[in-house]
């Protein structure tokens, strides 16, 4: 039975176990389990659920877009997306690398989650809001590019769920076996 670890990755942590000489935090600063590897990636400036496994086939099945595991993100965006902006996400939009698949998108109240370190930059003249966005692809910085495309740049990005696995009950920087 493959081992599967759920990790709540803090902002600024690299989705790898080493980064020789850079001084940047990596997974090794949080998880001391030999022989496990990330199943997919999460950008350094993103937070939230990262899955790790000790089995290459399991890793590929989780990370490969062909298997279309839905990924749900809590996204703090600049501005207040209207129904038309959300409909664009729901119908799929065309990015520089081609059209996206339709997504699930809805406005949500600010989630009750940990404070980000460092905090996002607040601007008195520009409101912000939160959306929940579920996609089945995994292109490079896709969520950020999608929200920018509809005129609402991402300020904070938290991956909350991948398939049946979620961050429910998992503290920032914490991990547990699935």
Catalytically annotated residue among 43, 82, 171, 177: 43
Beta-bridge mates of residue 48: 9, 159
Could you confirm whether 43 is annotated as catalytic? Answer: yes
Q: Are 7 and 37 in contact (CB under 8 A)?
A: no
At 27, phi and psi to the nearest 5? -60, -30
The neighbour count for residue 48, using CB atoms within 10 Å, is 25
Spatial separation of the C-alpha atoms in residues 170 and 114, rounded to whole Å: 11
Q: Which positions are catalytic?
A: 43
């Amino acid at each position: 039975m493959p081992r599967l670890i759920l990790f709540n990755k803090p902002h600024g942590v690299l989705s790898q176990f080493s980064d020789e000489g850079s001084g940047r935090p990596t997974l090794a600063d949080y998880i001391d389990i030999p022989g496990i590897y990330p199943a997919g990636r999460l950008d350094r400036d993103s937070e939230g659920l990262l899955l790790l496994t000790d089995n290459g086939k399991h890793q590929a099945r989780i990370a490969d877009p062909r298997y279309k595991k839905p990924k749900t993100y809590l996204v703090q965006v600049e501005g207040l997306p209207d129904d038309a902006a959300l409909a664009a996400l729901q119908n799929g939009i065309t990015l520089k690398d081609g059209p996206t698949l339709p997504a699930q998108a809805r406005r949500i109240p600010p989630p009750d989650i940990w404070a980000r370190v460092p905090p996002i930059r607040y601007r008195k003249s520009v409101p912000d809001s939160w959306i929940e966005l579920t996609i089945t692809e995994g292109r490079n910085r896709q969520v950020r590019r999608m929200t920018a495309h509809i005129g609402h740049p991402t300020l904070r990005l938290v991956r909350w769920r991948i398939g049946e696995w979620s961050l429910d009950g998992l503290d920032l920087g914490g991990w547990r076996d699935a």
